[in-house]
Structure 1
Amino acid sequence: MDRQCIYMDHIAGTPVAPEVVEAMMPFIGDHFGNPASIHHLGEKPQDALFQSREKVARLIQAEPEEIIFTSCGTEANNLAVKGAAFDRMEAGKHVVVSAVEHYSVLYAAKALQKFGFEVTEVPVDGHGMVDPEDVRKAMRPETVLVSVMHANNEVGTIQPLKEIARCVHEGGALLHTDAIASVGRIPVSVKDLDVDLLSMAANQFYGPKGAGALFCRKGVQIWPLFHGGGQEDGRRTGTENVAGIVGMGKAAELAVERMAVRGAKVRRLEAMLRREIAERLDEVRFNGHPESHLPGLVNVSIRYVEGEALLLHMDLRGVCVAGASACMSITAKASHVLEAMGLLDDGAYGTLLFTLGEGNTEDEVRRAADTLSEVVTLLRSMSPLCQARR
């Protein structure tokens, strides 16, 4: 990575840890065999899959046989939503999702409508929080699946999943959670959360892209999206990406070891970034729950600037962040998350999302805040809305 670049977009993907790269390399080279092969070249890849499954299971306090490896988090979400719904369609054709789900859940649910399913969206409050009672009210006798994410990837709000799980199970449905943003960042226990299905992705906790997993609680059946050779107990058939899975296993192992230290560091840097932004700029709004949110995530809306311009000018100055697209531009697609939170009524805000990681420093936080102040000052000087207020 460019040494001059300040990378604060860890929700899009974390750098791959050197230990992860080292663990993967033998399976790109000498141990290239297919784990399904009977001959000796299949032995080490097969052993590696077994060990990686154990490591990923340990990260979320699951059993190894409850882990299904996928190509990414989006596939895991699709397998959970479509797989659970199709398997239970004789019992009912109603699915409940929250309004702030990732598009891989929302669009998977929308696709079910072509097969006769009905989908109900549960609202959120101004912090992006789902009320468990709203979930209970949305359920019907024919509800077969509810999907509510563990932590939102835009504003970081952590949902009250234990309470939601109680409502869902009392209604006789399955609960899936998209935990892609939270697994590896904060402690996640499928036993404690009492979920039936949980999605995760390696590139969120210093593992490689192209490796994800779905936790499927023992006894829960899902309809496979793929059919073929029977890998992953027939639930996700296809030759496994052994190197990627090994990388995910190693990343999971490191996450267990380092989560507390990583979390403490990014919480400190997050607090510093919020403070530095607030001291430099007026008319800013921090989005998401003030307490129950992912560490290291700062979603900030800034008045009288356009979101895409913010993002591009930050990048030109070497600061890599994400845009939530809650901006004034009619060409930009507004954030459905901020819209669901009721924060798009006044369109005169541009929004940026900073997500910090273990490699960030206090000096980078100060430089990022200085750069943001410089960019906002420039853009406001050209903004007709800002000029009008004067």
Structure 2
Amino acid sequence: MSVTTAVPTTSILSERISALQESQTIAMAKKARELMAQGIDVINLSFGEPDFATPEYIREAAKKAMDEGYTKYMPVPGYVDLRTAIADKLKRENNLDYQCENIVVSTGAKQALANAVLSLVDPGDEVIVFAPYWVSYEEMVRLAEGVSVTLLGTLENDYKVTAEQLEAAITPRTKLIMYSSPCNPTGSVFSREELGRIAEVVARHPRIHVIADEIYEYINFVGEHASLAQFEEVKDRVITVNGFSKGYAMTGWRVGYLAATKQIAAACEKMQSQITSGTCSVAQRAALAALEGGRTSADEMVAAYRRRRDLVLEQVKDISGFKTPTPSGAFYIFPDVSAYFGRTAPDGSVINTATDLALYMLSDAHVAAVTGEAFGAPNCIRFSTAAADEKLQEAFRRIKVSLDKLA
């Protein structure tokens, strides 16, 4: 007589991973690659990645590092000379006073952000997230079992959250605030005056810390970058996150860092020690060379990003359903596309959401972009402008043709 073993009906996976959402930028890029594998000419404007090669002097430093034996385990928070160079950079360019022990180098700015969230947030803590936000902020909070409280900036204010909005959202459970400037996905940049008003609010609530994501710092079209940590009244409660991916076209090298009080830096080092340990040794030597080489290569890339922004803005003037603020930094445009909701595609399907529109543009125009729903802004779509001029021109020509088909 055979015995049948009952198969559990519940998932073997943890509730934590089951609740976690896949990054929408990665998901859209995956869909684009699937079409490209079929031989379809897809223009991918979904990824936030510079299309420039890493500058040669940085690549040469990596080759030299391998020859010099930088192939062993390294300190968890990063090499001392790299952390010292980062502290020098923060003082020189941002007027922030940190020492080597305040810096933790991580495998990309994403890990630095996750380290900080996991080190500060307990289950049930509220985290105020300025929206539109980078796609991973809310998922990091979810991993920490915190509660995201989304504050959406208005289009009329270039999507920037105001100090008044922040004050109204704070409760006794608020533990952390997260924002980026220049912002991914909007390209908005907080001025020193705007950050000063936010600092005044934070100063009145001594339990609250702030993660300031400044990974797009160098890609700024409006002048000097402002850091929240420069305000004396809140500097010890700000965790400044930055890295090398955007400004130095080093996305694949995976080097980011945070600067914070010794207590928070030590906590993030502890967290990192149990997950990845130290960042790739060769990549760290390349990052050191990037800092030592100055900003010339970054400034050259920024000039190209500015030209491309202007090129795209000129083209989208002909797309009547796009409401597109002028980005002050980063390399995206983030139009409100709600004018197309309720319209019908040639196949009879109805465009009800930004996700529907993004998928329609991928299938009809063969242009990949990311729905604003992924960024907490359901009326918008994000297009990367980090592509060659001719690709951008062709992409928005196709988009206009496809959108004109909607009835």
Give the TM-score normalised by the residue count of structure 2: 0.66
Kindly indicate whether residue 82 of structure 2 is the aligned counterpart of residue 52 of structure 1: yes
Deviation at 1:309, TM superposition (A): 4.7
Of 85, 89, 114, which residue of structure 2 is paired with 1:78? 114
Cα separation, 1, equivalents of 2:50 and 2:370 = 16
Give the percent of matched residue pairs that are identical in Structure 1 and Structure 2: 12
- Aligned equivalent of 2:334: 299
Deviation at 1:196, TM superposition (A): 1.4
- Aligned equivalent of 1:66: 102
Q: What is the CA deviation profile of residues 37-79 of structure 1, one whole-angstrom value per residue up to 9, with x for unaligned ones?
A: 9xxxxxxxx9x93333233334433434322111122211111
**Counterparts in 2 of 1:335-374, with a 5 A limit?**
335-339=374-378, 343=379, 351=381, 353-356=383-386, 360=388, 364-365=389-390, 368-374=392-398
- Aligned equivalent of 2:197: 163
- Aligned equivalent of 1:348: none
Of 161, 167, 173, which residue of structure 2 is paired with 1:130? 161
**Counterparts in 2 of 1:221-370, with a 5 A limit?**
221=264, 224=267, 227=270, 238-254=277-293, 256-278=295-317, 281-288=318-325, 290=326, 293-294=328-329, 296-300=331-335, 303=340, 306-311=357-362, 323-325=369-371, 334-339=373-378, 343=379, 351=381, 353-356=383-386, 360=388, 364-365=389-390, 368-370=392-394
Deviation at 1:297, TM superposition (A): 3.0
Cα separation, 2, equivalents of 1:248 and 1:5 = 33
Cα separation, 2, equivalents of 1:121 and 1:282 = 30
Deviation at 1:371, TM superposition (A): 4.6
Query: SS at 1:294's partner residue?
Result: coil
Supply the AA of the counterpart residue of 2:200.
R
CA contact (8 A) 1:95 1:146 kept: yes
Supply the AA of the counterpart residue of 2:80.
F
Cα separation, 1, equivalents of 2:46 and 2:276 = 32
Deviation at 1:105, TM superposition (A): 1.8
Supply the AA of the counterpart residue of 1:185.
I
Query: SS at 2:371's partner residue?
Result: coil
Kindly indicate whether residue 61 of structure 2 is the aligned counterpart of residue 19 of structure 1: no
CA contact (8 A) 2:315 2:396 kept: no
Q: What is the CA deviation profile of residues 334-381 of structure 1, one whole-angstrom value per residue up to 9, with x for unaligned ones?
A: 443332xxx26xxxxxx4513237xx5xxx25x63245314532x357
- Aligned equivalent of 1:106: 138
Deviation at 1:267, TM superposition (A): 2.0
CA contact (8 A) 1:96 1:121 kept: yes
Runs of 4+ in structure 1 over 6 Å off: 4-10, 234-237, 312-315
- Aligned equivalent of 2:239: 197
Cα separation, 2, equivalents of 1:93 and 1:309 = 38
Structure 1 unmatched ranges of 5 or more: 38-45, 316-320, 327-333, 345-350
Structure 2 unmatched ranges of 5 or more: 1-40, 346-356
CA contact (8 A) 1:298 1:355 kept: yes
Change (3 A) 1:54 1:287: farther
Change (3 A) 1:246 1:284: farther
Change (3 A) 1:76 1:121: same
Root-mean-square deviation (CA), in Å? 3.8
CA contact (8 A) 1:148 1:178 kept: yes
Change (3 A) 1:22 1:9: farther
Deviation at 1:133, TM superposition (A): 1.5
Deviation at 1:11, TM superposition (A): 2.4
Deviation at 1:185, TM superposition (A): 2.0
Supply the AA of the counterpart residue of 1:168.
V
Q: What is the CA deviation profile of residues 142-173 of structure 1, one whole-angstrom value per residue up to 9, with x for unaligned ones?
A: 53322222232122122443322221122112
- Aligned equivalent of 1:41: none
Q: What is the CA deviation profile of residues 62-99 of structure 1, one whole-angstrom value per residue up to 9, with x for unaligned ones?
A: 4343221111222111111121235xx9xx94432224
Higher deviation after alignment, 187-196 or 138-147: 187-196
Higher deviation after alignment, 59-68 or 295-304: 295-304
Supply the AA of the counterpart residue of 2:240.
L
Cα separation, 1, equivalents of 2:168 and 2:202 = 10
Deviation at 1:287, TM superposition (A): 3.4
Cα separation, 2, equivalents of 1:227 and 1:221 = 10
Of 210, 214, 218, which residue of structure 2 is paired with 1:179? 214
Kindly indicate whether residue 256 of structure 2 is the aligned counterpart of residue 213 of structure 1: yes
Deviation at 1:311, TM superposition (A): 4.3
Change (3 A) 1:106 1:96: same
Q: What is the CA deviation profile of residues 247-304 of structure 1, one whole-angstrom value per residue up to 9, with x for unaligned ones?
A: 22333444633444443443233223311342xx33242434x36x215433346657
Supply the AA of the counterpart residue of 1:53.
R
Deviation at 1:135, TM superposition (A): 1.3
CA contact (8 A) 2:108 2:256 kept: yes
